[in-house]
Structure 1
Amino acid sequence: MDLSTTSVMAAKDYLYKAESLVKEYLLADSYVSYTAVLGGILMCKMVYDITHLVSSFYYKSYASLTKAQKLEWNNRGISTVHAIFITYMSVYLVFFSHLFSDHLDGPITSRNSNLSNFTLGVSVGYFITDIAMIFWVYPSLGGMEYVLHHILSLISIVYSIYSGEGQLYTYMVLISEATTPGINLRWFLDTAGLKKSKAYLVNGVWMVVAWLVARILLFIYLFYHIYFHYDQVMQMQTFSCLLVFGVPTVLLIMNTVWFAKILRGLKKTMTKRD
């Protein structure tokens, strides 16, 4: 047996062992959530570095930003990627998959799957990373309202994975992340000195529409859904019920306050352009 054949066989054996490790441990039912959390944290690190690299190469003014601005610039790159990922997965699981279909037997509030747990785990990894960065440079990346938002999100998601309950409503809330790319783009344009551009105005209008749909109307639909599945909701554990009723209520209040600020900001921008 020649050296090349031996090398090929060794490589195949190594690949087989690696696949076995992934299937039997990392993606096993009992470990999939932990793997996802670790993957979410590593994803944040990777996106942070890529955002820094791409921005340095394609945006000449990036080098002139302050250290705090560069940190927030890269941080918003992370939140944008997470928002796109979690919005896509949430919309799919809530509206297009059969996991939460009313046509299936059993309470809709107790359904979960490896895919739903993995997706939530990735989101946990993101929120852990982001809140750690917020505390590290507090309050540069956000004040107490952001801390409250992240803590509520982490408690809800972690308990939803742990208990397997209420994941439908957790995903409905996570769809609100659809507004994050618009918020980040607005900050990028402002930092790049493009506050008077047409793109800034269009983005402002889009933010108002997206916020109204994803953070106001969708939450109203969530409470409507809870009302018509109240008997199933009350079958959950007490803490799950508290989360299902409490967290969306607090977030809806916060979203309404932020929505008013967005409207005032858009009105101010349009007034200056007249």
Structure 2
Amino acid sequence: MDKVLLVTGSSRGIGAATALLAASQGYRICINYLSDHTAAEGVCQQIRALGATAMAVQADVSNEDEIMRLFARIDAEFGPVTHLVNNAASISQSCRVDDMSEFRLLKIMMSNVVGPMLCTKHALLRMSKRHGGQGGSIVNVSSIAARLGSPNEYVDYAASKGALDTFTIGLAKEVAAEGVRVNAVRPGYIHTDFHALSGDPFRVSKLEGGLPMGRGGTADEVAQAIVWLLSDQASYATGTFIDLGGGR
């Protein structure tokens, strides 16, 4: 069976690192991106330099029409998706809940909860033995924030990742007998540019000294866990979480 991997939000950071690592393990990879075409094509070029196959497809994965277009494109060029990493997410400026707008909350929940659920729906229509598929593997990228709550910073983001954790648990049980495994990773302070979206691009460098391990993590370290969970090496793991928080 061809291994066809979709990594949402993979033009940078953890998503890009995951795609590059998976490229060395025989996956055909779709790099999904929202707006930065140049960065997405750059990741594809790196993958092709490794001798693997990749394509970049723009789609807002919080919009079902665009998700359907994304999956149809993959069907046409690579065949049906067999592996999915729900990595795309958004975060907003740090603030308290009593300063959060309805627009902010809806955007976070659409991007971080509804989007992964819709991408999973369309992956299952291709993976699940119930729908004539041959099985597959899904990894959701959650956050240590789901356990900690992120008070005075972004409780909405933490709550969205808590919802993603619950989704992981329920879905893993729902599709276990259909040949589909569902797991998650929960990164903590990781050196990527994602923190710039919350208004604090140097957040990890400022706070890493307080971690038990004394340093922030790297996107490559998170990618190692994701790709292991995707693989047959994790064949008896479903509903499993790997925390990558340096002891936090």
- Could you say whether these structures have the same fold, taking a TM-score greater than 0.5 normalized by the shorter chain as the test? no
TM superposition score normalised by structure 2: 0.29
Going by fraction, where is helix more abundant, 1 or 2?
1
Bigger Rg, which one: 1
Higher share of residues assigned strand? 2
